Amino acid sequence: MSLWRQRPERVATKIEVGILGATAMVGQQLIALLEQHPWFQITWLAASEPSQGHRYGDLPWRLPGKVPAGLTDQKVEAPRPRDAPQLVFSALDAAAAGEMEPAFAAAGHYVVSNARNFRMDPFVPLLIPEVNAQHLDLVLIQQQRKRWRGAIVTNPNCSTIFLAIVLAALREFHVKRGVVTTMQALSGAGYPGVASADSAANVIPWIEGEEEEIEIETQKILGRFMVNSIEPASVQISAQASRVPVLHGHTEMVSLEMGERVSSEQVEEAFREFPGVARTLHLPSAPTKPIVVHLERDRPQPRLDAETGAGMLVHVGRVRKCSVLDHKFVVLGHNLIRGAAGAALLNAELLVARQLFAPVQGLP
């Protein structure tokens, strides 16, 4: 049985959602994105012990401006399933997510997670709606196998998302291998993240776990859903990750070897024509066209491009021949939005659009 039934009915009243990790950087970005959301309304904020019991407006807010007005007086709760709405975003760090997310799923919650813990679990979908929306069906298998009334769905690592979208756009050219160097922004490390004493006017040529995640998650995302599991794609990526003193926006230098002989123009064209899901799935946060191709010789740049299109776009530039592999180009995306909070939000929208999740009265 597929979830692919029909477009969602109009949502009459907003769906209540909660945030696990409401004081984390990604949690705050989620809160900012949800402020005007047409479907969702935050009714529950949870965080670790030091923040519990405080008004959310009294806790440090690390994004520009102030806490959204409606949440200033919201009390921060302990992360216990019984108090939370059925749909919960998780911006937990890996140390907390490992135990907490399954507990919520077991208790009947749908956990839309940005944490890394269950991304590679064979029964947890690793979703980018434009790339592998059909992987969402894995949720049904997940519920059977794990005996959960709820579920966990995840989005990939930030750098992986931008790369996977680009690779999906080139699917017809049968990309075989790729070499990627990332130059990742400070905000990708969360808060407090990287010490300024380490990062100021410096490059740190290593990010814990990042390269492995890029290499392995890409294969799962681009893999095929087969009966009840994902068969990983064979594309082989070799990544080198670095941290650079940029605020938001991960830049990636990509060289690809393809199974087909194509021109740079065809590559650009494939990027430009890569379809969004805004029209087909009607996800309100999805861009009409997920990939923007820049023609200036020195773009995309994180400071000038990452925030355009509400931070939900993948930017590509300098598409040209590679003398070692076949083509090379620059990729850029907003790590906090398209690469994390916006990615989770899109996955939640997909859950609703596909009617997998339908808010139930009286849960749990």
| Residues annotated catalytic, as ranges | 158, 250
> Per residue in 200-238, is it b (16+ CB within 10 Å) or e — as a string?
eeeeeeebeebbebbbbbbbbbbbebeeeebebbebebe
Nearest residue (CB) to a copy of itself, 15 versus 336: 336
- C-beta separation of 246 from 187 below 8 A: no
Specify the residue, 134 or 199, whose C-beta has the smaller distance to a copy of itself.
Answer: 199
Neighbours of 298 (CB within 10 A): 10
Would you say 109 or 250 has its CB closer to a copy of itself?
A: 250
Minimum distance from residue 316 beta carbon to a copy of itself (Å): 11
Pairing mode, if any, of strands 236-243 and 87-90?
unpaired
Q: CB of 118: closest distance to a copy of itself in angstroms?
A: 24
Q: How far is the CB of 243 from a copy of itself (least distance, A)?
A: 9
Q: Which of 229, 214, 224 is nearest to 178 (CA)?
A: 214
Q: Which is nearer to a copy of itself, 78 or 203 (CB)?
A: 203
CA atoms within 13 A of residue 287's CA, in its CB half-sphere: 21
Task: Work out the burial of residue 185: count CB atoms within 10 Å of its CB; fewer than 13 is exposed, 13-18 middle, 19 or more buried.
Answer: buried
Q: What's the closest the beta carbon of residue 98 comes to a copy of itself, in angstroms? A: 23
Amino acid at 193: G
- Nearer CB in complex with a copy of itself: 83/296: 296
Q: Is 5 exposed, middle or buried (0-12, 13-18, 19+ CB in 10 A)?
A: exposed
Instruction: Show the tokens assigned to 121.
Output: 């679990």
Residues 6 or more apart whose Cβ sits within 8 Å of residue 10: none
Length of the chain: 364
Contacts of 288 (CB under 8 A, 6+ apart): 276, 278, 279
Q: Which is nearer to a copy of itself, 43 or 199 (CB)?
A: 199
- Judged by the rule CB under 8 A, the positions of this chain that interact with a copy of itself are 25, 62-66, 177-179, 181, 183, 186-187, 189, 191-206, 215, 236-238, 240, 242, 244-247, 249, 251, 253, 255, 257, 297-305, 307-308, 317-318, 322-325, 328, 330
Q: How far is the CB of 276 from a copy of itself (least distance, A)?
A: 19
Instruction: Decide whether 72 or 196 has the Cβ nearer to a copy of itself.
Output: 196
Could you tell me the two tokens for 258?
A: 């393809």
Distance in Å, CB of 160 to a copy of itself, minimum: 15
Angle at Cα 287 formed by Cα 284 and Cα 292, nearest 5°?
175
Neighbours of 265 (CB within 10 A): 9
